[in-house]
Amino acid sequence: MDILNYISYDANNDLVSLQQFLEIVIIIAMIGMLGILSNRKNLLMSVISIEMMFYGLNSIFVIGSLYLDDINGETAAIFILTLAGAESALALALITAYFKTHRTINLK
């Protein structure tokens, strides 16, 4: 069976609908947002929560691209992945510098 049959939306096929994909992606993004709102003191958890929101946004772009049979969403997802990688590298460097001076990654 072809993998695209599982991820493409087909009204006659009862595999997985577009709405089910979007509900899962929204749940992932909300978990990321809850992580930021509930844990403001730990820098590492904040970075991980921001990454979860980026991956939720990426999934929306890829799912929309597959649904519309267009390459623009996948191009935007690659751009966001590049941005998320740069953000992670910068955040981890800042966390390391903060840890060297304060001996903790918790904000005071």
- Three-state SS string over the chain comes to CCCHHHHCCCCCCCCCCHHHHHHHHHHHHHHHHHHHHHCCCEHHHHHHHHHHHHHHHHHHHHHHHHHHCCCHHHHHHHHHHHHHHHHHHHHHHHHHHHHHHHCCCECC
> Is 11 part of a structural domain of the chain?
no
Question: What's the CATH code of the domain at 70?
Answer: 1.10.287.3510
What is the structure's pLDDT at 22?
Answer: 87
Other Cβ atoms less than 10 A from the Cβ of 21: the count is 19
pLDDT at 9 over 60: no
> Is 30 part of a structural domain of the chain?
yes
> Is 47 part of a structural domain of the chain?
yes
What is the structure's pLDDT at 17?
Answer: 76
Q: How many structural domains does the chain have?
A: 1
What is the structure's pLDDT at 67?
Answer: 85
For residue 72, give its domain range.
19-102
pLDDT digits (tens, 9 = 90+) for 19-48: 888 889 999 999 999 999 998 888 888 888
